[in-house]
Structure 1
């Protein structure tokens, strides 16, 4: 008999009844729902299955019986991978859950920067009426997508249907619907040179850490905008601040940062060509509803031993 724990933050909407209906009472003896680290720490010792947001390594070390961890998130770099790997825990993630709402964030960010809505909001705060603010459009512009996974492909689809030219980066370049040209990871400079908007969706790995550096920022178009929805560590923040101050690029929209919360001392807060959101582009009121098919499939496989789990994380790659 197994014990399963759902560590789901209190602000996330979900149906406890729907979750419990997925569980075979002959396989699961206990089902617990917690929403605080201290609560999780109290019950982790004899937990077999954990469905959770990122948690501390100290908690995982106490999980003597842990066999499978279903991450609610897509990225697992915030999880104690080393400890999970040492225990032989299967890790699955929420890949695919974010596809629609994160693509909408990307499209909204490009339109906002094209119409300079961020500048008009600042003017509103100071009661300033300025009709000289430039109004552009994304139709006909080129968007470069760093990472053509499920989210990147959904952005490509939406951007293409809105009249944009779409190019992108993929580990193994191949023909992808709605993408006009696909580059390999070693061709990032070529993509940056062509793009009016660059959307970064890359995970943080040994290969991608600070991949957007001073050299790459310097080849971008002067009117280009960078949108970071991947991981903060993939951008050299010091070089980025210099690029923004000296107008190597036109603007920056970011939902993720190397240090979070972004320190109040960061120059990014004060720059007029920067829009900051607090790591929320992956959030949605429909989040758990979207996760349910993945969870249902993986629970079925875990309970019955037949079939394949969805979204098993490759610990060597980190995603």
Structure 2
């Protein structure tokens, strides 16, 4: 019997469902890999951060790691690749909550909701400036499943969407697609620069001070991907110098964001505690992908969903 260790926390109803649906699999539910002592584990279902190189060396029977998140940058990918271990993730399940989060922040800023809320607390009745989305441009870094959904929603508001990826290939939800090599040509046109890029060797620190100097002074920069896209000091300086109007940050170099970070107190910065992907349907959607891949695992068909290329990191 195949042994599957699940350290991804799920409710009892989902545990029972897995056991009933896959009687040929022995499921062990634990808080950590160490708790299970799983030398004979064949399948590991995890958020990813608990799988270190040292622990991986102890899992001698491991054949498949199902990561219950989209990011895999904290995992020992090189060693997993060397051992030929299958790695899959749940890429795509975040697209609805993340796209709605991005849209919520944009609409909030455009319709001056933070000012309205602040004035209510002070019992101030005063008109304020506001703007609309129609006719604006959004440059979306990482136009995959999440970026495509962001683009689709923005298009409904009359926003012209430009997808920016490594290849420059055509993506859903984009009016135009460009490669990273052409990003500097399009930054001066964008009203919104939205990143949902993963953390890979190709994307780490891809944005520098020179990129922010090319942006409109009225532009809004939004990072919902990973904190190593750009040095935080670069964002701080861009905001202080008025090179951009506002930054909305859901991810940071260090999380939680240190109390001494100037970003906390900057009026033109929105600090979000890495919550854009949260949804009451997260576990359910993650398990749907796991169930599909588990059925593939038990069959002769080896066409798994969301396979990670360990050498690329995505």
User: Is 2:65 aligned against 1:69?
Assistant: yes
Give the Cα separation in 1 of the matches to 2:125 and 2:312: 49
Structure 2 counterpart SS, 1:279: coil
User: Is 2:236 aligned against 1:241?
Assistant: yes
* Aligned match of 1:229: 224
Q: How do residues 40-55 of structure 1 correspond to structure 2 at under 5 angstroms?
A: 40-54=34-48, 55=50
Q: Contact 1:68/1:89 (CA < 8 Å) preserved in 2?
A: yes
Deviations 1:275-315 (CA, angstroms, capped at 9, x unpaired): 11111111211012222332122101212232411111011
* Aligned match of 1:15: 14
Q: Contact 2:77/2:311 (CA < 8 Å) preserved in 1?
A: no
Give the Cα separation in 1 of the matches to 2:21 and 2:98: 28
Residue 40 of structure 1 and its aligned partner are, at CA, apart by: 4.3
Output the TM-score relative to the length of structure 2. 0.92
Selected match of 1:252 from 234, 244, 247: 247
Quickly say closer, same or farther: Cα 1:154–1:222, change in 2 above 3 A: same
Structure 2 unmatched runs, 5+: none
Residue 248 of structure 1 and its aligned partner are, at CA, apart by: 0.7
Residue 229 of structure 1 and its aligned partner are, at CA, apart by: 0.7
Structure 2 counterpart SS, 1:70: strand
Structure 1 unmatched runs, 5+: none
Residue 32 of structure 1 and its aligned partner are, at CA, apart by: 1.4
Q: How do residues 151-162 of structure 1 correspond to structure 2 at under 5 angstroms?
A: 151-162=146-157
Give the Cα separation in 2 of the matches to 1:41 and 1:306: 33
Selected match of 2:101 from 101, 105, 110: 105
Quickly say closer, same or farther: Cα 1:42–1:291, change in 2 above 3 A: closer
Q: Contact 2:28/2:36 (CA < 8 Å) preserved in 1?
A: no
Residue 179 of structure 1 and its aligned partner are, at CA, apart by: 1.7
* Aligned match of 2:312: 317
Quickly say closer, same or farther: Cα 1:191–1:13, change in 2 above 3 A: farther
Structure 2 counterpart SS, 1:154: helix
Give the Cα separation in 2 of the matches to 1:130 and 1:65: 67
Q: Contact 2:81/2:311 (CA < 8 Å) preserved in 1?
A: no
Residue 79 of structure 1 and its aligned partner are, at CA, apart by: 1.8
User: Is 2:130 aligned against 1:129?
Assistant: no
Give the Cα separation in 2 of the matches to 1:176 and 1:64: 40
Q: Contact 2:144/2:171 (CA < 8 Å) preserved in 1?
A: no
Give the Cα separation in 1 of the matches to 2:131 and 2:211: 25
Aligned residues: 312
Q: Contact 1:51/1:72 (CA < 8 Å) preserved in 2?
A: yes
Give the Cα separation in 2 of the matches to 1:94 and 1:5: 17
**What RMSD, in angstroms, separates the aligned Cα atoms of the two structures?**
2.0
Structure 1 counterpart SS, 2:57: helix
Deviations 1:5-43 (CA, angstroms, capped at 9, x unpaired): 111236x796222222332x33x2x21122x33x64433
Give the Cα separation in 2 of the matches to 1:128 and 1:257: 34
Residue 75 of structure 1 and its aligned partner are, at CA, apart by: 1.3
Output the TM-score relative to the length of structure 1. 0.91
Q: How do residues 203-214 of structure 1 correspond to structure 2 at under 5 angstroms?
A: 203-214=198-209
Structure 1 counterpart SS, 2:154: helix
Give the Cα separation in 2 of the matches to 1:13 and 1:144: 43
Residue 134 of structure 1 and its aligned partner are, at CA, apart by: 2.0
Residue 106 of structure 1 and its aligned partner are, at CA, apart by: 1.1
Give the Cα separation in 1 of the matches to 2:81 and 2:39: 17
Quickly say closer, same or farther: Cα 1:123–1:246, change in 2 above 3 A: farther
Which has the higher mean CA deviation after the structures are superposed, 75-84 or 244-253?
75-84
